[in-house]
Amino acid sequence: MGLASRHNHPMPAKPAATPAKTLSAPQKALIKLGLVRDIDLALHLPLRYEDETRIVKLRDVREGDTAQIEATVTACEITMRPRRQLLVTVDDGSDTCVMRFFSFYPSHQKALAVGNRIRARGEVKGGFMGLTMMHPTFKAAGGNLAEALTPVYSTVAGLAQAYLRRAVITGLNHADLSETLPPGIPWPDPRGAWSLREALQFLHHPTPDVSLASLEDRSHPAWIRLKCEELLAQQLSQLTAKRERDLLRAPALKHKAQGLYGQLLKALPFGLTNAQQRVGREIAQDLARQVPMHRLLQGDVGAGKTVVAALAAMVAVDAGWQCALMAPTEILATQHFAKLVGWLEPLGVKVAWLIGSQKKKERAAMLAMIESGEAALVVGTHAVIQEHVKFKNLALAVIDEQHRFGVAQRLALRGKMQEGGMEPHMLMMTATPIPRTLAMSYYADLDVSVIDELPPGRTPIVTRVVSDHRRDEVVARIGAQLQQGRQVYWVCPLIEESEALDLTNATQTHADLSEALPGVMVGLLHSRMPVAEKKAVMDLFTAGQMGVLVSTTVIEVGVDVPNASLMVIEHAERFGLSQLHQLRGRVGRGAAASACVLLYGTPEGGRLSETARERLRAMVETNDGFEIARRDLEIRGPGEFLGARQSGAPLLRFADLETDSHLLDWARALAPQMLDQHPYLAERHIGRWLGGKSEYLKA
């Protein structure tokens, strides 16, 4: 895991290069799940368990239970109403149950003939006709019962549970599960340490006498062992990265109060908040050192991170170096560019910009300016990290909305420094933070600065949750806002991740609102529009000529139009909590009282899910991004590993930063000791847990 290899292979290791064609569908699905090595399979722990260790009596079954019964078939018939189905009635002596099959074959009828005794498993529902099971699994009665609970794993299409179970057992048998924890270390759980092998064997196939609650809430000692292992791997990997980084060099950028830094400060139309001044000092101290800065700037939406980045850039420029600022979307990059040009060109600082859809000629001019060093600051999207972009002397790289970027992209930006043996200083900015105290101990490899104060004069945003049935009232409210000279965002949701559908929906809403609000300019913005058109729409909205902007989530991050005071989010129940908070942050940026309306729709006759309701409630109850982050962790729980990774939150599968903070403390204390005294064990431990993914934690 040396530095050299990191630079040569910035991407996480790919699974072994077997030609894709020779892989079966389930094998491909395993790779998709990241289950490549034996140890990956062994560490793929069950989502839940089914109990096939016993037969229950129908009389004792509660509605919603998944039950295994043995019973005699008393009726077996095909009905056509309400649609063609096979109805099988069984009796186990305590009660009867009707089993329904919507798809069935003659073999079903044969196996389920009247008089046969069968063993069936399925979820039991109550109802008008008494107990029912939909599509239970069944076989002839008798035979052995399972000795352990049956694991149910998270899976993907094309990968059956049975196949996955066998694969996991194979992985478990072949994986090297030898001890990597140094002997004699203190254990954070009074119930004592389980070995990794014992813990994994148990969690995959627990004995039926276990308290299911202790498996579910992950308080069982076997779970503790796994969580400790995971947290230790994470801490070891980050600490290793930190130690490697500490050996690197970066140009020491000495702060000059009299230079551009001071001039920008003077030229700004506002004074910095105390929090901005404090984080500015923290960054300046880092930049003055010869070791590359690796700092995360957390600040709620609207806290004013951009200006802090601009000031940091001026420190670099004052010292004769270049700075790059990378943003995740073209709209955001364009806005940053406009704002920074406004601030910096009067000071004589040249700003270049790079986006994917730029005209060839313009791009060539920009590339030349960047390579010659004429442009001191470069703003752009992913276009900034493309191969052919050459900097003259990059010393500071700023990544806005860093959670939206992948690791490879962050590494690529770091690699843009030409000077041998040096790395640029890195400033990463994000508004979807994890609670500060957690961030401090979790990110062993990152220094964290927090802007915990909003600029003065903002009025808190009032948030309301409104049923979609009352859409008309919301439209009326839009009219009222427009009359006061205000502007409005209307956000349409992602439908089943299909861009095409998104678009139909947004287009329809755009048409409806245009009709309902005669004389008002209503604009439409979506990700498929050509950039020039997007820009034209944004310009009209920014200039205040356009009253309402209907958009898909492209406006999600960073957009800054202080006159906008109302945000309507349609089908808010489909958004994640931090996404809702980011969206809401587009209003409340000026002095006017602002509001956010969360429209929700319910599936026909259905209800909102409990977590959807909790998310909406959290939005009404708090405007504080840190509190939102805390609730988000709480609502999502530790299980949603992938979702969490996408939203930039912790990369943990098993441990929960909030409930397991004592385990984190344990891992944090142990990691440096282990690296110093047992480097070989440490390396094996990291390899076991992170394999090729350890790069993820470094960037």
CB of 305 to Mg ion, least distance (A): 5
Site size for Mg ion (CB under 5 A)? 1
Nearer to ligand ADP, 304 or 493 (CB): 304
What residue is closest to Mg ion based on CB? 558
Contact 140/119 with Cβ under 8 angstroms? yes
The contact pattern for Mg ion, residues 417-456, with x = CB under 5 A and - = no contact, is: ----------------------------------------
Question: Which residue's Cβ lies closest to ligand ADP?
Answer: 304
Distance of closest approach, residue 380 Cβ to Mg ion, in angstroms = 15
- Of the pair 240, 647, the CB lying nearest ligand ADP is at 647
Residues 542 to 561: which contact ligand ADP by CB under 6 A?
Answer: 558, 560
CA distance 478 to 491: 13
Q: Which residue, 481 or 582, has its beta carbon nearer to Mg ion?
A: 582
Least distance between ligand ADP and beta carbon 310 (Å):
9
Stretch that binds ligand ADP, among 168-176, 295-303, 466-474, 481-489 (CB under 6 A): 295-303
- Cβ 400 to ligand ADP shortest distance, Å: 7
- Interacting span for Mg ion (CB under 5 A) from 175-183, 270-278, 479-487, 555-563: 555-563
Q: Which is nearer to ligand ADP, 402 or 409 (CB)?
A: 402
Distance of CA 272 to the CA centre of its chain: 31
Q: Does 34 participate in binding ligand ADP (rule CB under 6 A)?
A: no
- By DSSP bridging, strand 96-101 and strand 85-91 are antiparallel
Bridge partners for 427 per DSSP: 295, 398
Give the count of beta carbons closer than 10 Å to the beta carbon of residue 614: 17
Out of Mg ion, ligand ADP, none, which partner does residue 111 contact, by CB within 5 to 8 A per kind?
none
| Angle of helix 305-318 versus helix 260-267 axis, rounded to 10 | 150
Q: Which residue has the tokens 């943003």?
A: 327
Is 288 near ligand ADP (CB under 6 A)? no
Is 627 in contact with 496 (CB distance < 8 Å)?
no
| Cβ nearer to ligand ADP, comparing 628 with 667 | 628
- Of the two residues 287 and 450, which places its CB atom closer to ligand ADP in the complex? 450
Residue 328 interacts with Mg ion (CB under 5 A): yes or no: no
CB 300 within 8 A of CB 585: yes
351: amino acid identity, one letter: V
581 binds ligand ADP (CB under 6 A): no
Long-range contacts at 253-257 (CB < 8 A, ≥ 24 apart): 253/287, 253/288, 253/315, 253/316, 253/318, 253/319, 253/321, 253/395, 253/396, 253/425, 254/288, 254/319, 255/284, 255/287, 255/288, 255/315, 255/318, 256/315, 256/318, 256/319
Contact stretch for Mg ion (CB under 5 A) within 161-169, 449-457, 510-518, 556-564: 556-564
**105 vs 270 by CB, closer to ligand ADP:** 270
Q: What does the block give as tokens for 79?
A: 């009905």
Q: Any contact of residue 431 with ligand ADP (CB under 6 A)? A: yes
Exposed e or buried b per residue across 429-440, where buried means at least 16 C-beta atoms within 10 angstroms of its C-beta = bbbbbbbeebbe
Closer Cβ to ligand ADP, 70 or 453, answer by number: 453
Q: How far is CA 250 from the centre of its chain?
A: 31
Q: Which helix (H) or strand (E) holds 394?
A: strand 394-399
Q: How many Å separate Cα 61 from the centre of its chain?
A: 39
Cα 18 to the center of its chain, rounded Å:
30
Q: Which does 276 bind (CB under 5 to 8 A by kind): ligand ADP, Mg ion, none?
A: ligand ADP
Rg (CA), the chain: 29
DSSP string, 55-105: ---GGGPPTT-EEEEEEEEEEEEEE-SSS-EEEEEEE-SS-EEEEEESS--
State in angstroms the smallest separation of the CB of 449 from ligand ADP: 12
Binding ligand ADP (rule: CB under 6 A), the pick from 304, 328, 433, 493 is 304
Sketch the per residue contact string, 388 through 427, with ligand ADP: x for CB under 6 A, - otherwise. ----------------------------------------
Sheet strands (E) in 126-207: 131-134, 137-140, 150-152
Closest to Mg ion by CB, 547 or 558 = 558
> Least distance from C-beta 398 to ligand ADP, angstroms?
11
Site for ligand ADP in 439-458 (CB under 6 A): 455
Q: Could you say whether residue 336 binds ligand ADP (CB under 6 A)?
A: no
Burial 323-359 (b: 16+ CB within 10 A, else e): bbbbbbbbbbbbbbbbbbbebbeeeebbbbbbbeebe
Q: Of these partners, Mg ion, ligand ADP, none, which one is at the site of residue 655 (CB under 5 to 8 Å by kind)?
A: none
The 3-state DSSP class for residue 627 equals helix
Segment contacting ligand ADP by CB under 6 A, of 244-252, 303-311, 480-488, 606-614 = 303-311
Among 292, 558, 585, 588, binds Mg ion (CB under 5 A): 558
Are 685 and 667 in contact, with CB atoms under 8 Å apart?
no
Number of H helices, E strands in the chain: 25, 21
- The site map against ligand ADP for 258-277 (x = CB under 6 A) is ------------x-xx--x-
- Those residues with Cβ within 8 angstroms of residue 341's Cβ, 6 or more apart along the chain or in another chain: 351
Q: How many residues bind ligand ADP (CB under 6 A)?
A: 18
Site residues (CB under 5 A) for Mg ion? Answer: 558
Site residues (CB under 6 A) for ligand ADP? Answer: 270, 272-273, 276, 299, 301-307, 431, 455, 558, 560, 562, 589
